[in-house]
Structure 1
Amino acid sequence: MTATGATNLHDVLKAHVNEGPLPGVVALVARGDRTETAEVGSADAAGTTPLTRDSIFRIASVTKPVVAAAVMMLVEDGRISLDDPVDRWLPELASPMVVRTPAGPVDDVVPAVRAITVFDLLTFRSGHGFPSDFSLPAVAPLFSELKQGPPRPQHVAAPDEWMAKLSRIPLLHQPGEAWLYNIGSDILGVLIARVTGRSLPEFLAERIFEPLGMTDTAFEVPAGKRDRVPHYYRADGTGGLELVDAPDGQWSTVPPFPSGAGGLVSTADDLHAFAKMLLADGRADGKAGDKALLSPESVARMTTDHLTRPQRDAGTLFLEGQGWGFGGSVDIAAVDPWNVAGRYGWIGGTGTAAHITPSTGTVTILLTQLEATGPVPAPLLRDFWRYAS
């Protein structure tokens, strides 16, 4: 089922909500000074509360570009450099071991041939993370020890304990060798906190959220805003929905481990503010003369593909032929109607997506409360991208 014949954004969304089981969706498409938004459906499966433009969603992996931007701020501050070995601040990674072969047992290891750098973490080539094959022995501890997978903020250990667990899990590949998904951003969140001596929530609030007016973006939702948070569901396999999290659930208090890979909540307008900053080469309000949060050079590095062709091909389960910048994918060829060369951004496992296309000044943001069934974009997202292109 597609909505390719729809003439406006509301119709694109409504076709999918009507089909079910998706309860609702909020979307934004901006092209230059023109912004189109639409809100369809409900915040809960019972249909009692409509979604609104200011609904607060669990954005999951859409967190990653925000954390990458924060790292680049530290680079510009002179606190770190891209080539720095991270073991200066993360001693748990001082002597990493690597499985001899990716398919081999976790106790058949060799030393890493070089140190892990900031650049390795930003490009997801530190040796930590998920390959396309989840059955490899070294992948299992990522779920059991680090609680990777669908976000459960209150179930993850605090940063020091989490890093200690990470240090006991061998790398799947040598540093710089292969692209592996997700964990690089969680490590970057810990790195930011240790470099600055502040918590990740504090640093992001001061350096990104407050300057951009992202008033609803955080790692938790205060009591006074929880009426704007939709229930979060997953498909139950029979056409119905299973409740995963309620508005007063996992995101109602600051978690022990603020996940740089997937811990934030946000709104369509907050994410639009962040996107406009990137499109304006780092300027706070997207206008000439505004205070810059990032330099044009840092934005360019974030939104440029850094992978080799073999690395992109090996990560095809997640990347679908795309490249990877810092914290997000980079479309390197318009091979499908929804792929636009140069587009940067990422999708979240909670049913979210946010992208920019620098060449056209376009922003696309899609927010739902239905857990994704896998890394491949759902039909709704593909129809949304097709409409916005």
Structure 2
Amino acid sequence: MDQVRLARHRDVLARHVDSGDIPGVVALLDHGGQAHQTVLGDLPAGADTIFRISSMTKPVVTAAAMTLVEECVLRLDDPIGDLLPELATPRVLKAIDSPLDDTVPARRPITVRHLMNSTFGQGVIMAMPGTYPVQTAIAEAGFEPGPPQPQSTPDADEAMRLLGTIPLLSHPGEKWWYNTAYDVLGVLIERATGQPLDVVLDERIFAPLGMRDTGFHVPADKIARLATAYSNTDSGERVVYDPPEGQWSTPPAFRSGAGGLVSTAADYLAFLSALRAGGGPVLSRPSVLTMTSDQLTAAQKAGGGLVDGFFDTTTWGFGLSVVTARDDIHKTPGRFGWEGGLGTSGQVDPAEDLVTILLTQQAWTSPAGPKVYSDFLTSAYQAL
């Protein structure tokens, strides 16, 4: 990478810190195995600061599920009903605005594949709360859209019981819906292995990759390294969302496969580097290629996406997004990864042999991400 342009990359990030857009940042670029790191602002442990990575949990949990597929413990097209009887015979709303009792039986059972590619029929409705009757039921069951709340969620069995009382939004396998599938996938992993999700991830992902600071909570001897998380009020005022001694300071009742992990730049680089290298010690190359390939049909993408035009240049693999078309300098077709709504991102660009990781403690106010995110990627790619 060009050293003068790397300095420009750092200056771009410094402007966002100096202006108050974000309190601090750890940015990591790894090009061909050579890492370039920028650490700026108010962080408790510099480059070793621990961040809540929210939805960057999804690729990690999906990778763990793929290890079970490789061992034939799970099979992609097997129904999940034996392990998750709460979802064995779902009913489906006749229309998104239907009353909760206006349903029909699902046309097919939910399969492992439907969880992996997020088409099992339930997820985030991109509409104002209260627009549809089902949104109230989703919120009351604890699956309301928004940042994770690990200390306000029931345990896995109760969460699945509550989820099973809500009709699906579409028939399994017919439409992409964001988020909820990976909470269900995490519970499926637990029941398939007979182990808590944190134990499964440690044995299959974290320990082999040396990810010592990644987990569903921060132990007492590391809590001083956990960044304060911030969000914004409707008027734009920055407020504390979660302090270090807050919701991630003790083990949660429910280990969220959709958004519960904390991690560091070095740990998440180990994970993404394994995917870039074809799986490393945790997965086979065909498994990584499957995870990072387009796993949606045109019909499954129709009317979906987190923001308008999401599927114009992006698709979804197993637990992560995959770029399909270039409409910006940082959008290389084949680039894969995902973001976290509490202010983080991790991406792999195989064509450029580049890993990009952005960790801030400032929550996003839109799925499209703030200016610091797009500026981070643009300035990273201009340095190539």
Higher alpha-carbon deviation: 137-146 or 30-39: 137-146
Alpha-carbon distance in structure 1 between the residues aligned to 2:119 and 2:237:
38
Q: Report the TM-score when normalising by structure 1.
A: 0.92
Is the counterpart of residue 143 in structure 1 residue 139 in structure 2?
Answer: yes
Query: Residue 154 of structure 1 aligns to a residue in which SS?
Result: helix
Structure 2 residue corresponding to 1:118, chosen from 112, 118, 126: 112
Is the counterpart of residue 368 in structure 1 residue 357 in structure 2?
Answer: no
Q: 2:40 — aligned with what?
A: 40
Alpha-carbon distance in structure 1 between the residues aligned to 2:343 and 2:42:
15
Which amino acid counterpart does residue 263 of structure 2 have in structure 1?
S
Q: 2:175 — aligned with what?
A: 178
Is the counterpart of residue 306 in structure 1 residue 303 in structure 2?
Answer: no
Unaligned 5+ runs, structure 1:
44-48, 284-291
Q: How many residues align?
A: 371
CA offset at residue 239 of structure 1?
A: 4.8
CA offset at residue 150 of structure 1?
A: 1.1
CA offset at residue 6 of structure 1?
A: 7.7
Q: 2:55 — aligned with what?
A: 61
Alignment of 1:216-295 (within 5 A): 216-283=213-280, 292-295=281-284
Alpha-carbon distance in structure 1 between the residues aligned to 2:371 and 2:18:
14
Alpha-carbon distance in structure 2 between the residues aligned to 1:150 and 1:141:
18
CA offset at residue 33 of structure 1?
A: 2.0
Query: Residue 323 of structure 1 aligns to a residue in which SS?
Result: strand
Alpha-carbon distance in structure 1 between the residues aligned to 2:302 and 2:94:
21
CA offset at residue 9 of structure 1?
A: 3.1
Alpha-carbon distance in structure 2 between the residues aligned to 1:80 and 1:220:
27
Is the counterpart of residue 346 in structure 1 residue 342 in structure 2?
Answer: no
Higher alpha-carbon deviation: 331-340 or 242-251: 331-340
Is the alpha carbon distance of 1:98 and 1:239 closer, same or farther for their aligned partners in structure 2, counting shifts above 3 Å? closer
Alignment of 1:200-215 (within 5 A): 200-215=197-212
Instruction: Name the Cα RMSD after superposition.
Output: 1.5
- Report sequence identity in percent: 46
What is the CA deviation profile of residues 77-115 of structure 1, one whole-angstrom value per residue up to 9, with x for unaligned ones?
110110110011001111100001122122100000110
Higher alpha-carbon deviation: 68-77 or 29-38: 29-38
* Native 8 Å contact 1:16 1:380 kept in 2: yes
Is the alpha carbon distance of 1:313 and 1:386 closer, same or farther for their aligned partners in structure 2, counting shifts above 3 Å? farther
Unaligned 5+ runs, structure 2:
none
CA offset at residue 293 of structure 1?
A: 1.2
Alpha-carbon distance in structure 2 between the residues aligned to 1:111 and 1:140:
21
* Native 8 Å contact 2:176 2:305 kept in 1: no
Which amino acid counterpart does residue 320 of structure 1 have in structure 2?
F
* Native 8 Å contact 1:9 1:36 kept in 2: no
What is the CA deviation profile of residues 181-227 of structure 1, one whole-angstrom value per residue up to 9, with x for unaligned ones?
00000000000000000000000011100010000000010111111
Is the alpha carbon distance of 1:147 and 1:385 closer, same or farther for their aligned partners in structure 2, counting shifts above 3 Å? same
Q: Report the TM-score when normalising by structure 2.
A: 0.93
Which amino acid counterpart does residue 364 of structure 1 have in structure 2?
T
What is the CA deviation profile of residues 331-386 of structure 1, one whole-angstrom value per residue up to 9, with x for unaligned ones?
10012233221111111110111111122221011011111102112110001111
Structure 2 residue corresponding to 1:297, chosen from 261, 267, 286: 286
Query: Residue 114 of structure 2 aligns to a residue in which SS?
Result: helix
* Native 8 Å contact 1:31 1:361 kept in 2: yes
What is the CA deviation profile of residues 18-75 of structure 1, one whole-angstrom value per residue up to 9, with x for unaligned ones?
11141111110111122111111103xxxxx5x5111000000000000000000000
Higher alpha-carbon deviation: 126-135 or 192-201: 126-135
Is the alpha carbon distance of 1:132 and 1:313 closer, same or farther for their aligned partners in structure 2, counting shifts above 3 Å? farther
Q: 2:322 — aligned with what?
A: 330
Is the counterpart of residue 199 in structure 1 residue 188 in structure 2?
Answer: no
Which amino acid counterpart does residue 30 of structure 2 have in structure 1?
A
Alpha-carbon distance in structure 2 between the residues aligned to 1:141 and 1:346:
28
